[in-house]
Chains A and B, each alone.
Chain A
Amino acid sequence: MDWLKQTRLARLGALLLSSVAPLYHAEAQSFAKVGAVNPNAMGTPPGGADRVLTIGSSIVVKERVRTTDAGSTQLLFPDQSTLNLGANSDMVIDEYFYDPAAKSGTMVASATKGVLRYVGGQISHTSGVTIMTPSAVLGIRGGIATLVLQRPECVAAIDPKLNGGTGCELVINHFGSLTIKNHVSQVTLKPGEATVVTSANQPIAPPFKVTDANLQQIMRAQTSRPGQSGGLPRQGGFGGAPPGNVPFTPPPGFGTAILPNRIRPPGADPLGYTSVFSAGGSTSRNKLQTNQVQSVVPQAQSAPAKMQNAKSPPPPPSYP
């Protein structure tokens, strides 16, 4: 299993590096913070007892993080990446180090169940992030990805493509490059594509698009439900409002962004636009310069001159 060897080597390398560099987990065991949490979310540090996570809780290396039926949480990492854990999730950050000066590091996590969304930061932009599941190893570069492990039936029922067994894993790539490997196959997902991994010893399904209805179900499982407030006190959150309706006022201009115009037919971008006018101008100039010279041919009384063609520079090439 070459891919397994590579993973072990990467982890060994990460371990060696972490012992010499001024890195987050070498200096302090805590490396991530809980940014939001809906009860219940529990943390179990290695060798320690279960504890209830609250906003601002520190997560230590190899701490196991679990959420209950109604629980969900968001973890913030020093490299400005975030990880949302939905209901009934269970995961461990096995390795994490980040060198702010080099803006690079390593992150390896193991997830066994639940709904997770990873939104990338500096580590995923440089060396990539590895997430291990019971059936596969995910390499995230970029990138934003959603994992649904031990997928609940309610998700499978919406999309016929997901009828591969209740225990299988759904992986969605939203942005960047995502490679999934198991013992027998490897699939790379482009943005917008998803796949299903049934087990470590069965080929990974070809990529497909997730339906909007399915995405809606998954997103609901990754954030607060009605009546939840992400761990803010019931009174005294932003302005002491009741949960679910916290009146924080966005700054002026927020939420008024206009989408960039992605319609870019030829001539719609500044260089393509000006090159069309240049091409038209060069074409007529070419002929005009011939005419100018021929207009003085009677003065020159030169027979060969009648044969000349004053060629001016050709136009810029088009934009295929």
Chain B
Amino acid sequence: MWAWLLAMRIRPHRMLVCALSLWLAVGVEARAQDGAAEQQRLYEQMLRQPTNAEATYAYVRLATQHGDYEAAIGALERLLFYSPDQPLVKYELGSLYFRLGSYALAKRYFLDALATPGVDASTKARIEASLQITDKQAEPSRFSGFVQTGLRYQSNASFIPSSNTVRLNGVDFGLGATKGGKSDTNWFGLVGLSHDYDLQDQAGTVLETRFIGYLTQQFRLHDLDVGLFDLSFGPRFSLPSEWIAGATVKPYVVGGTAWVDGARYLSSGGAGLSFAIPTSWGATLEPSAEWRRVNYVTGNPVLAEFNSGDWFTAALGSSVPLNDRLKLDARMFYRRGNAAMNFQSFNQFAIEGALSYEFAPPIASIPQNWTISSFARLIRTSFDAPNPFIDPLTSGSVNEWVAGIILDAPITGSFGIATTIQYDRSYSPLPNYRQNNFSILAGPTARF
């Protein structure tokens, strides 16, 4: 077995990841089939006994878990035929329509629930909070943001190679008394902003603006202080429904810049095309293509010229709701980087995924669910030619693995705390790029 793995040049940890992925996929599919059969059985029972409330609630629960919100809606609207004054049924209907993106009907059911006699205080608070969210979704101009600040500890903040050596002109040199890397803690700030402006025209045009900003301040290694931002803008159009129903396309322009140690390090600008294609299984596929001109700005113009070039990226992303609490985000991309020197030109392939589980918070008064996400990423980068200054005989390629867990814990409707534990490991034929790093970060978050 191990000889076969060796022969196939498949590392055991890769096999483990593949096996885990397969187990997860098979397990999810098997559970989905069992659930669908049980949902069908309950539906047949409802056909025989439409007034059986127990079967109806069991059917609604199962259909909701499987994301079959229409089925749950039909059953609950029947209960309202029997008993119109049911605020919880109306609230549930509102939340189901909200999940479908039918905000006008969601709002109507929430308002009906509020107007129903006998609504208790906690239900009323929940309905009012839901109404606020629904109203925001229905506005033509929607501004939202995510902000986090906090502290991040890294075991190898200085990116010292695992072997404590770097190769130069084909010869390995020790880096002195820094073996294992220098740990450090930083303060960080993260801001993500989005604005959608729905022109409400026949083409369904929405003007989308996206901004991301990130800033760090190291406690000890100040030459690692980083700042970066990225801004994109473009109109999103609906494609003709006879092509693909519900699909949209967005051409956009994008630009950004980054600083290291207080000095500008690189800037980039370009354009792209992004599609959003809904599928029958509830996921949305998002293929995209992007070009960027990247300019490195360093003190040495020759070095800058070596690195600067054009990056072409093709990506495919998707967010798949596995049930009402479990969601899989996945993305893969290929990037081609053309630089002036072939040893700085590269091909990069990446695949990444995050499995998120949403659960009720431990305190009932918290109005938002908590989410725990496990994520993993593999990035493989191959440079076109050996870097003659590092090792003229060894081609530079790097495999970078990242895995971790994020706990997102809202405390109020807008504020919360997020914590991330992450482990990075890089493999390369060149010692310069063999590294590992453990990091943990935590801090308050705000959403609006």
> If the complex has contacts A38-B81, A266-B192, are A175 and B329 also in contact, measured as CB distance less than 8 A?
no
Q: Which residue of B lies closest to A251 (CB)?
A: B57
Q: What 0/1 pattern do residues 280 to 313 of A give for CB contact below 8 A with B?
A: 1101111111111101110110101101111111
Whether a CB of chain A sits under 8 angstroms from the CB of B290 is yes
A residues less than 8 Å from B238 (CB atoms) = 190
Whether a CB of chain A sits under 8 angstroms from the CB of B258 is yes
A265 touching B329, Cβ below 8 Å: no
In the bound complex, CA of A207 to CA of B198 (Å): 14
Q: What 0/1 pattern do residues 400 to 430 of B give for CB contact below 8 A with A?
A: 1010101000000000000010101000000
In the bound complex, CA of A192 to CA of B138 (Å): 9
Select one of B53, B159, B424, B441 contacting A238, CB under 8 A.
Answer: B53
B residues less than 8 Å from A144 (CB atoms) = 70, 73, 100, 102, 105
B57 touching A309, Cβ below 8 Å: no
A residues less than 8 Å from B315 (CB atoms) = 317
B101 touching A313, Cβ below 8 Å: no
Q: What 0/1 pattern do residues 76 to 115 of B give for CB contact below 8 A with A?
A: 0111111111111101100101111111110110011000
Whether a CB of chain B sits under 8 angstroms from the CB of A188 is yes
> If the complex has contacts A56-B50, A265-B145, A270-B354, are A320 and B78 also in contact, measured as CB distance less than 8 A?
no
Interface size bucket, B side? 35 or more
Q: Which residue of B lies closest to A120 (CB)?
A: B70
A82 touching B228, Cβ below 8 Å: no
B212 touching A276, Cβ below 8 Å: yes
A55 touching B95, Cβ below 8 Å: no
A residues less than 8 Å from B102 (CB atoms) = 144, 174-175, 191-192
> If the complex has contacts A248-B53, A254-B88, A318-B254, are A76 and B204 also in contact, measured as CB distance less than 8 A?
no
Q: What 0/1 pattern do residues 32 to 75 of A give for CB contact below 8 A with B?
A: 01111110000000000000000110000000000000001010
A residues less than 8 Å from B265 (CB atoms) = 283, 286-287
B104 touching A248, Cβ below 8 Å: no
Q: In angstroms, how far is the closest chain A Cβ from the Cβ of B404?
A: 7
Of the listed stretches B4-12, B13-21, B24-32, B373-381, chain A binds B373-381
B214 touching A280, Cβ below 8 Å: yes
Q: In angstroms, how far is the closest chain A Cβ from the Cβ of B238?
A: 7
B residues less than 8 Å from A231 (CB atoms) = 81-82
Whether a CB of chain A sits under 8 angstroms from the CB of B166 is yes
B74 touching A295, Cβ below 8 Å: no
Of the listed stretches A9-17, A156-164, A256-264, chain B binds A256-264
A residues less than 8 Å from B91 (CB atoms) = 255, 257
In the bound complex, CA of A215 to CA of B82 (Å): 21
A224 touching B82, Cβ below 8 Å: yes
A residues less than 8 Å from B138 (CB atoms) = 192
A residues less than 8 Å from B331 (CB atoms) = 271
Select one of A174, A177, A255 contacting B97, CB under 8 A.
Answer: A174
Whether a CB of chain B sits under 8 angstroms from the CB of A268 is yes
Select one of B46, B306, B406 contacting A273, CB under 8 A.
Answer: B406
7 pairs from A and B in contact (CB 8 Å cutoff)? A191-B102, A192-B103, A266-B193, A266-B212, A273-B190, A284-B260, A309-B389
4 smallest CB-CB distances across A and B, nearest first, come from A255-B88, A308-B389, A230-B81, A267-B192
Known A-B contacts: A232-B51, A255-B89. Give 7 more (CB < 8 A): A38-B81, A82-B78, A254-B92, A274-B377, A274-B422, A291-B223, A311-B387
Residues of A whose CB lies within 8 Å of any CB of B are 33-38, 55-56, 72, 74, 76, 78, 80-82, 84, 100, 117, 119-121, 125-126, 141, 144, 174-177, 179, 188, 190-192, 206-207, 209-210, 212, 215-216, 219, 223-226, 228-232, 237-238, 244-246, 248, 250-251, 254-281, 283-293, 295-297, 299-300, 302, 304-305, 307-314, 316-320
